[in-house]
Amino acid sequence: MIYDAIVIGSGPGGAVAAATLAQQGKSVLLADRQAFPRDKVCGDGLPIHVMLMLHEMGIDVRKAGIDYHRVTSLSIEAPSGRTLTTHEVSEDVFSMTATRMSFDLALHRKAIENGAKFEMMNITKPLMDGNRVVGVVERRDKTLIEHEAKVVIAADGASSALARTVRGRVQDADKTAVSIRAYGVLKKPMPPCVYFYFPRDLIPGYAWIFPSANGRCNIGVYLHNREYKARTEGLETLLKQFSERMQAEFPHEILSETAQTWQLPLFTDKQVRHVPGMMFVGDAGQFVNAITGGGIYPAMLTGRAAAQTALEVLDGTATEAAYEPRWQQAVGGSLGTAWLIKQYVASNAAVFNGIFWLATLPVLRAPVLRAMSGEHY
């Protein structure tokens, strides 16, 4: 069978792409190497826009079985120790944290409910006809199996095999970050606020502690690879130190088995995100916010943009090249700004502190916090 579309990876990027295509009656194979529900190493922070997008997709956060925790404020500590906090006003639409186990499952189910066919597959490379991608190649035990499609969407995450075969492994330390997160059991409830700490020795990286569902917190450290490689301590040590620092304010006990690290491919430039027959979305397309490491909302937006382009490709009214202006319109501005802020503000303690000093003016507070938090609220 030749599918209209094959989507590889059922994280937020792939699930949104598959749900959008299947809703339009296209035959969609959605493939992931893991069975669902599955976890993903993450801070679980979801900006307010995610809830709006879920609503547009017909997913009601309150009814979809998502383990979410409503967040009503955001706090950022600058290297100087100055802290700025802001509050959300809306009651109906809100920022939240949500376990990836439950959040990704809700999106995955939506794709299937809309008509996508899900199969567990380990995809190793694209299937080529000349210079055009015409499907994917699955490795099952020692056998290679070909699956054909008119268009392929690569949403296979930060370790994307499909992206590697096209552009090689991203090794530039300025374009990648690493992060560790763990869950902790809170000994007393935390305020419904997401806390970001930018200490002098981590910038442009930071540490976070977020309240999570079921009396837990999500705690972690995010470092750009350039700074990480220059350090002697590992991420586990940095997490332990940060957890100790947080005990006085937010006492918690780390669940050590949940401490995991993973890589983040950062958005740094406007490189091309398609080849004939295939488009890259989410982490596979390097759409991660360089300040915050936030990539869920960009994955959802680029997943939708790729699906809209695929519909035009299937109608014969466009080629995959139409994806370029679409993703640029969807995420290019905000991710490009985040990269500049990472380079010129978050990397320099004096500039960072100066901007935070200015942002004590109420009129500047919201835009500064919005920019520094990757438009979190």
Ligand X SMILES: Cc1cc2nc3c(=O)[nH]c(=O)nc-3n(C[C@H](O)[C@H](O)[C@H](O)COP(=O)(O)OP(=O)(O)OC[C@H]3O[C@@H](n4cnc5c(N)ncnc54)[C@H](O)[C@@H]3O)c2cc1C
Footprint of ligand X (CB under 6 A): 8-14, 31-34, 40-45, 121-123, 155-157, 159, 161, 179, 181, 220, 262, 264, 282-284, 288, 293-297, 299
Give backbone dihedrals phi and psi of 62, rounded to 5 degrees, phi first.
-75, -20
Q: Which is nearer to ligand X, 171 or 317 (CB)?
A: 171
CA distances, 78 to each of 20, 201, 273, 336 (Å) = 40, 12, 34, 22
Coil, helix or strand for 375? coil
CB of 316 to ligand X, least distance (A): 28
CB of 177 to ligand X, least distance (A): 8
CB of 42 to ligand X, least distance (A): 4
Lookup: tokens for 271: 């490189």
Quickly tell me which residue has 């906090």 as its tokens.
Answer: 85
Contacts 24+ apart (CB under 8 A), 307-311: 307/5, 307/16, 307/17, 307/18, 307/20, 307/21, 307/153, 308/20, 309/279, 310/4, 310/5, 310/17, 310/21, 310/26, 310/151, 310/153, 310/279, 311/21, 311/24, 311/26
CB of 355 to ligand X, least distance (A): 22
Residue type, 3: Y
CB of 153 to ligand X, least distance (A): 11
Q: Which is nearer to ligand X, 134 or 296 (CB)?
A: 296
Q: Which is nearer to ligand X, 82 or 117 (CB)?
A: 117
Contact between residue 292 and residue 212 where contact means Cβ atoms under 8 Å apart:
no
CB of 297 to ligand X, least distance (A): 6
Round to whole Å and give the CA distance between 247 and 230. Answer: 28
CB of 159 to ligand X, least distance (A): 6
Q: Which is nearer to ligand X, 163 or 345 (CB)?
A: 163
With b for 16 or more beta-carbon neighbours within 10 A and e for fewer, the 87-118 pattern comes to: ebeeeeebbbbbbbebbbbbbbbbbbebbbeb
Q: Which is nearer to ligand X, 118 or 356 (CB)?
A: 118
> What stretches of 89-232 show up as alpha helix (H) in DSSP?
100-113, 161-167, 225-229
Q: Which is nearer to ligand X, 79 or 220 (CB)?
A: 220
Give backbone dihedrals phi and psi of 207, rounded to 5 degrees, phi first.
-120, 155
Q: Which is nearer to ligand X, 45 or 184 (CB)?
A: 45
Give backbone dihedrals phi and psi of 302, rounded to 5 degrees, phi first.
-75, -30
Its sign, for the CA torsion 282, 283, 286, 292, is: positive
Contact between residue 299 and residue 287 where contact means Cβ atoms under 8 Å apart:
yes
CB of 126 to ligand X, least distance (A): 11
Q: Which is nearer to ligand X, 122 or 360 (CB)?
A: 122
Q: Which is nearer to ligand X, 80 or 328 (CB)?
A: 328
Lookup: tokens for 168: 């090689």
CB of 8 to ligand X, least distance (A): 5
